[in-house]
């Protein structure tokens, strides 16, 4: 019998820099020690897929799914798996078992975690950038117009570090998370689904603003905004331009261990996402205000696309006890991406019964 293989993709928390990736701006995410593991028992011509998150549901996917069928495939959660299969073109089908320590739909990138885990399993792509492009194309094939933020860090993050990404050049820099900082993620409990949330509207508004400004918003300056007559487009563009400035400031502040400055930039980011970009919700705003009022927190903001999901808090170690909050919360650590510490996918020696987080491996010969 062919060997069973498995791979784990980490989720991600974006420390700062939201709605900048598809504008060719900057972001500072980290891959985290929560993730999705996919086990693959190869054999047969199609795939049977089960997921811990959807007990009792079984998806059947042909080994060469047609792109046109992907947006109709049921159950919906299996569409991304089918899209990655359609791009990765594995040589054989089999049974795929998906299990997760990440809350689904909470803005911690459970879908990119699945995508990068599948790429690691199927040996698709090579560099973090190639894997990220494949995962992005897979999301696009399911009808979700995401940027490269999530799969890039889920593939190429590094333990103990945030990843400063410049989406214009795709240059990346690993920025150490200082010892005196703890990252806590708190779930607002409200859910968003990027297929239904007005995410695509924001992408379109930014494209319209960029066309008027004459350059991608991530490369524009505040002076460029004066020419934008439409107040809504001006607010959207202002968020992107100022957010990129904040990302640069936060990366520099983290690098020198200045958590007060980094935290203040997180606070400003939330305000900008709420007022200029209008992707916050009353629940997220109230949660951010509550967490910021607690001693030992440096800053807090919604993380990811918004419209629900999670808040990220930069705090003094031990200041915020996840168990003491009245909702799900996690103290997360920056972890290696699915391609491992070297970013090249070197296989780990771990066995499937005790998978090393965020790596790929095999057992049974
Ligand atoms: C989602 C998308 C990313 C990015 C964020 C917002 O997570 O998948 O590409 O646009 O929203 O920063």
Q: Return the pLDDT at 164.
A: 98
Average pLDDT, stretch 179-184?
Answer: 96
Q: How far is the CA of 107 from the centre of ligand 1 (A)?
A: 8
Is 72 within the bounds of a domain? Answer: yes
Q: How far is the CA of 361 from the centre of ligand 1 (A)?
A: 29
Q: What DSSP string describes 279-343? A: ---HHHHHHHHHHHTSTTEEEEEE-SS-SSSEEEEEE-TTTS-GGGSSS-EEEE-B---TTTTTT
Q: How far is the CA of 168 from the centre of ligand 1 (A)?
A: 16
Average pLDDT, stretch 39-65?
Answer: 96
Q: Could you read off the pLDDT of 203-232 as tens digits, one per residue? A: 999 999 999 999 999 999 999 999 899 999
Average pLDDT, stretch 34-38?
Answer: 97
Is 94 within the bounds of a domain? Answer: yes
pLDDT of 346 above 60: no
Q: Could you read off the pLDDT of 126-178 as tens digits, one per residue? A: 999 999 999 999 999 999 889 999 999 999 999 999 999 999 999 999 999 99
Q: Which of 150, 167, 303, 310 is the pocket-test mutation for ligand 1 (most atoms within 8 Å of CB)?
A: 150
Q: Which two tokens stand for residue 362?
A: 């095999």
Is 237 within the bounds of a domain? Answer: yes
Is 136 within the bounds of a domain? Answer: yes
Of the candidate ranges 81-95, 191-205, 213-227, 287-301, the one whose mean pLDDT is the lowest: 191-205
C-beta of 308 in contact with ligand 1 (< 6 A) = no
Q: Return the pLDDT at 356.
A: 40
Q: Whose CA is nearest to atom 9 of ligand 1?
A: 147
Pairing state of beta strands 47-51 and 94-100? parallel
Q: How far is the CA of 109 from the centre of ligand 1 (A)?
A: 9
Q: Which of 304, 306, 307 is the pocket-test mutation for ligand 1 (most atoms within 8 Å of CB)?
A: 304
Name the active-site residue from 150, 166, 224, 336: 150
Q: Return the pLDDT at 357.
A: 40
Q: Return the pLDDT at 104.
A: 74
Q: How far is the CA of 195 from the centre of ligand 1 (A)?
A: 12
C-beta of 18 in contact with ligand 1 (< 6 A) = yes
Reported confidence tier of residue 361, pLDDT bands at 50, 70, 90: low
Is 353 within the bounds of a domain? Answer: no
d(CA 69, CA 65): 7
Q: Which atom of ligand 1 is nearest to the CA of 148?
A: 9
Enclosing domain of residue 110: 5-345
Q: Return the pLDDT at 350.
A: 30
Q: Whose CA is nearest to atom 1 of ligand 1?
A: 305
Q: Which of 25, 218, 305 is the pocket-test mutation for ligand 1 (most atoms within 8 Å of CB)?
A: 305
Percent of the chain with pLDDT over 90: 86
d(CA 212, CA 189): 38
pLDDT of 348 above 90: no
User: How many domains does one find in the chain?
Assistant: 1
C-beta of 167 in contact with ligand 1 (< 6 A) = no
Of the candidate ranges 107-111, 238-242, 264-268, 314-318, the one whose mean pLDDT is the lowest: 107-111
Reported confidence tier of residue 3, pLDDT bands at 50, 70, 90: confident
pLDDT of 194 above 70: no
Reported confidence tier of residue 13, pLDDT bands at 50, 70, 90: very high
Q: Which atom of ligand 1 is nearest to the CA of 139?
A: 8
Q: Return the pLDDT at 282.
A: 95
d(CA 304, CA 312): 10
Which residue has better confidence, 297 or 227?
297
Reported confidence tier of residue 103, pLDDT bands at 50, 70, 90: confident
Percent of the chain with pLDDT over 70: 92
Is 358 within the bounds of a domain? Answer: no
Is 360 within the bounds of a domain? Answer: no
Q: Whose CA is nearest to atom 12 of ligand 1?
A: 18
Q: Known catalytic residue: 150?
A: yes
Q: Return the pLDDT at 351.
A: 30
Reported confidence tier of residue 347, pLDDT bands at 50, 70, 90: very low
Contact (CB, 8 A) for 85 and 47: yes
C-beta of 19 in contact with ligand 1 (< 6 A) = yes
Q: Whose CA is nearest to atom 8 of ligand 1?
A: 146
| CATH number, residue 312 | 3.30.230.10
Nearest to 191 by CA among 311, 306, 274: 306
Sheet holding 310-315, edge to edge: 297-302, 310-315, 182-187, 329-332
Average pLDDT, stretch 255-277?
Answer: 98
Is 298 within the bounds of a domain? Answer: yes
Cβ within 8 Å of residue 241, ≥6 positions away: 217, 220, 221, 222, 224, 225
pLDDT of 259 above 60: yes
Q: Return the pLDDT at 349.
A: 27
């Amino acid at each position: 019998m062919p060997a069973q293989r498995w791979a784990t993709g980490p989720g991600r928390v974006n420390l700062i820099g939201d709605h900048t990736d598809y504008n060719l701006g900057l972001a500072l995410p980290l891959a985290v020690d929560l993730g999705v593991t996919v086990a693959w028992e190869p054999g047969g011509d199609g795939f049977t897929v089960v997921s811990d998150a959807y007990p009792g549901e079984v998806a059947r996917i042909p080994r060469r799914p047609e792109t046109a069928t992907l947006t109709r495939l049921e159950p919906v959660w299996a569409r991304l798996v089918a899209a990655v299969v359609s791009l990765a073109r594995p040589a054989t089908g089999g049974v795929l078992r998906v299990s997760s320590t990440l809350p689904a739909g909470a803005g911690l990138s459970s879908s990119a975690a699945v995508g990068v885990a599948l790429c690691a399993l199927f040996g698709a792509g090579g560099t973090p950038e190639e894997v990220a492009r494949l995962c992005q194309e897979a999301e696009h094939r399911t009808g979700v117009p995401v940027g490269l933020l999530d799969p890039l860090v889920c593939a190429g993050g590094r333990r103990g570090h945030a990843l400063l990404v410049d989406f214009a050049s795709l240059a990346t820099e690993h920025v150490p998370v200082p010892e005196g900082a703890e990252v806590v993620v708190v779930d607002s409990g409200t859910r968003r689904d990027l297929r239904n949330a007005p995410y695509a509207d924001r992408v379109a508004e930014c494209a319209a603003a960029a066309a008027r400004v004459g350059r991608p918003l991530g490369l524009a300056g505040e002076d460029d905004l004066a020419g934008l007559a439409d107040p809504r487009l001006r607010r959207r563009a202002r968020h992107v331009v100022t957010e990129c400035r904040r990302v640069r400031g936060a990366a520099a502040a983290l690098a020198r261990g200045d958590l007060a400055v980094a935290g203040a930039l997180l606070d400003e980011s939330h305000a900008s996402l709420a007022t200029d970009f209008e992707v916050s919700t009353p629940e997220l705003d109230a949660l951010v205000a509550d967490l910021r009022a607690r001693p030992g927190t440096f800053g807090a903001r919604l993380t990811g696309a918004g419209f629900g999901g999670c808040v990220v808090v930069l705090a003094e170690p031990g200041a915020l006890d996840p168990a003491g909050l009245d909702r799900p919360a996690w103290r997360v650590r920056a972890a290696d991406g699915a391609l491992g510490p070297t970013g090249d996918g070197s296989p780990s020696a771990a066995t499937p019964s005790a998978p090393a987080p965020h790596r790929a491996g095999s057992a049974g010969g």
